[in-house]
Amino acid sequence: MHPASNPSTPLPSPQRVARCLAELTGLRDREQLQQRLAGHLVEHFQPVRAQVCRRHDERMGGWDILALHGPPAEPGEQECQALLEALGREHPLQLAELPGRAFYPLPGSHGAQAVLQLQLEASPSEAHQLVADEILRVYRNVIGLLDYGERDGLTGLLNRKSFDETFMRLAALSARSEAGLSGCDGRRHWHSGDPCFLAVIDIDHFKRVNDGFGHLVGDEVLLLVARLMGETLRQHDRLYRFGGEEFVVLLSCSQDDGAQAALERLRERVARYAFPQVGELTISAGFTRIDADDTPEQAFGRADKAVYAAKDGGRDQVRSFDELLAEGAVAEAATGGVDFF
């Protein structure tokens, strides 16, 4: 059974609701939007405990916990099932077997799904629920508008404009936090919690697909490759389409071998996939570690050189720019490729 409703908790004033909506509609960064929505819902319900649970790597089956009010608590088995059920929902989830718990979906943080888990003294009144539902609806509308401007129209992946903005924001944060620190090679790197590697992925012989089967089939191939990327790479990795058959990924890996392994999994998945009408296809990929003082053009240029090396080496392979540099196969100055600015 649910705990008794607590009608004595006052409803938020119109001014407070208006302030909440004005703040949400004024933000453009998805992570800030998610954080502020969670904060407003905590303020609205005044729970005993509140924490944001973000899905970690599905293969690990874990959750990242961010305590907002009260001490953090690892979710139990029933709570984990409720969190999974709440992911992707439009409306909050409350279950009779978990009295005093409410699960509010927080979609839209660069593809990562999160849930606000509340522990309440009493079930909120219907009026409280209605206000929270309207706040969530405004939040989803804002996310939808951001998606419209930041997503590729064909594949639904993030577009190049959003890549530029995200890259520069994360690089600036990393540079400020690591000021005065350097690695053993004299270059400052991003934190391991940030996307630390940039990968460029190119579909091999894609022109043959368009020429031989037509652009509608070519578009279907792009959609399927984008879907395979989303299914194979981790939720915290950020996926972009730069146009044509070229994709970019910001990988959240702390070591080169982790980035290599992730891209190899994708390469193998694509090579095994039977594309309708086309049959077998392969991809070539190149990647580089991102330095804190990098520009998008510099990092892309290095990864792009690694892609060309993969293609020159026979395609259907993954190459690391740093390894190529150590072999003397490429030069350090690698700022060619896409004209970003």
* Residues 140 and 165 reside in one and the same domain: no
Number of domains in the chain: 2
Q: How confident is the model at residue 214 (pLDDT cuts 50, 70, 90)?
A: very high
Other CB atoms closer than 10 Å to residue 219's CB: what's the count? 14
75-124 tens-digit pLDDT: 888 999 999 888 878 788 888 888 888 999 887 644 447 899 999 888 77
* Residues 189 and 72 reside in one and the same domain: no
Tell me whether residue 259 is in a domain: yes
231-282 tens-digit pLDDT: 898 867 889 999 889 999 998 877 888 999 999 999 999 999 999 999 999 9
Tell me whether residue 191 is in a domain: yes
* Residues 281 and 257 reside in one and the same domain: yes
pLDDT attached to residue 222:
96
Q: How confident is the model at residue 179 (pLDDT cuts 50, 70, 90)?
A: low
283-336 tens-digit pLDDT: 999 999 988 778 889 999 999 999 999 999 999 999 999 999 999 888 875 444
Q: Point out the domain boundary residue: 150, 169, 189.
A: 150
Token pair listed for 171: 């690089």
Q: What is the mean pLDDT of the chain?
A: 82
* Residues 137 and 202 reside in one and the same domain: no
* Residues 230 and 142 reside in one and the same domain: no
* Residues 265 and 218 reside in one and the same domain: yes
- Determine the Cα–Cα distance for residues 52 and 72; give it in Å rounded to an integer: 9
Q: How confident is the model at residue 165 (pLDDT cuts 50, 70, 90)?
A: confident
Token pair listed for 269: 């998945």
Radius of gyration in angstroms for the set of CA atoms belonging to the chain, rounded to a whole number? 23
- Determine the Cα–Cα distance for residues 194 and 63; give it in Å rounded to an integer: 17
Residue 268: active-site member: no
- Determine the Cα–Cα distance for residues 47 and 40; give it in Å rounded to an integer: 12
* Residues 68 and 129 reside in one and the same domain: yes
* Residues 145 and 167 reside in one and the same domain: no
CATH code of 280's domain: 3.30.70.270
* Residues 133 and 243 reside in one and the same domain: no
Question: CA of 275: how far to CAs of 76, 92, 231, 268, in Å?
Answer: 41, 38, 16, 14
Token pair listed for 39: 């904060």
Please check the confidence at residue 1 and state whether its pLDDT lies above 50: no
Q: Point out the domain boundary residue: 95, 129, 150.
A: 150
* Residues 103 and 227 reside in one and the same domain: no
Q: How confident is the model at residue 63 (pLDDT cuts 50, 70, 90)?
A: confident
Q: How confident is the model at residue 180 (pLDDT cuts 50, 70, 90)?
A: very low
pLDDT attached to residue 261:
94
Tell me whether residue 6 is in a domain: no
Mean pLDDT along residues 121-138? 85
* Residues 318 and 177 reside in one and the same domain: yes
Q: Of 253, 251, 246, 285, which is closest to residue 269 (Cα–Cα)? A: 285
Tell me whether residue 59 is in a domain: yes
Q: Is the distance from CB of 125 to CB of 9 less than 8 angstroms? A: yes
Other CB atoms closer than 10 Å to residue 212's CB: what's the count? 12
Q: How confident is the model at residue 178 (pLDDT cuts 50, 70, 90)?
A: low
Tell me whether residue 315 is in a domain: yes
Highest mean pLDDT of the ranges 126-130, 131-135, 186-190, 205-209: 205-209
Tell me whether residue 209 is in a domain: yes
Containing domain of residue 212, as a range?
A: 160-327
Contacts of 273 (CB under 8 A, 6+ apart): 224, 228, 280, 281
Please check the confidence at residue 338 and state whether its pLDDT lies above 50: no
- Determine the Cα–Cα distance for residues 208 and 218; give it in Å rounded to an integer: 9
Q: Among residues 150, 245, 246, 297, which one is catalytic?
A: 245
Tell me whether residue 219 is in a domain: yes
Residue 43, judged by CB atoms within 10 A of its CB (0-12, 13-18, 19+), counts as: middle
Reported pTM: 0.63
CATH code of 131's domain: 3.30.450.40
pLDDT attached to residue 188:
42
14-31 tens-digit pLDDT: 888 888 989 888 887 777
Please check the confidence at residue 209 and state whether its pLDDT lies above 70: yes
> Which 3-state string (H, E, C) describes the chain?
CCCCECCCCCCCCHHHHHHHHHHHHHCCCHHHHHHHHHHHHHHHHCCCEEEEEEECCCCCCCEEEEEEECCCCCCCHHHHHHHHHHCCCCCCECCCCCCCEEEEEEEEECCEEEEEEEECCCECCHHHHHHHHHHHHHHHHHHHHHHHHHECCCCCCECHHHHHHHHHHHHHHHHHHCCCCCCCCCCCECCCCCCCEEEEEEECCHHHHHHHHCHHHHHHHHHHHHHHHHHHCCCCCEEEEEECCEEEEEECCCCHHHHHHHHHHHHHHHHHCCECCCECCCEEEEEEECECCCCHHHHHHHHHHHHHHHHHCCCCCEEEHHHHHHHCCCCCCCCCCCCCC
Q: Point out the domain boundary residue: 117, 150, 183.
A: 150
Tell me whether residue 119 is in a domain: yes
* Residues 144 and 239 reside in one and the same domain: no
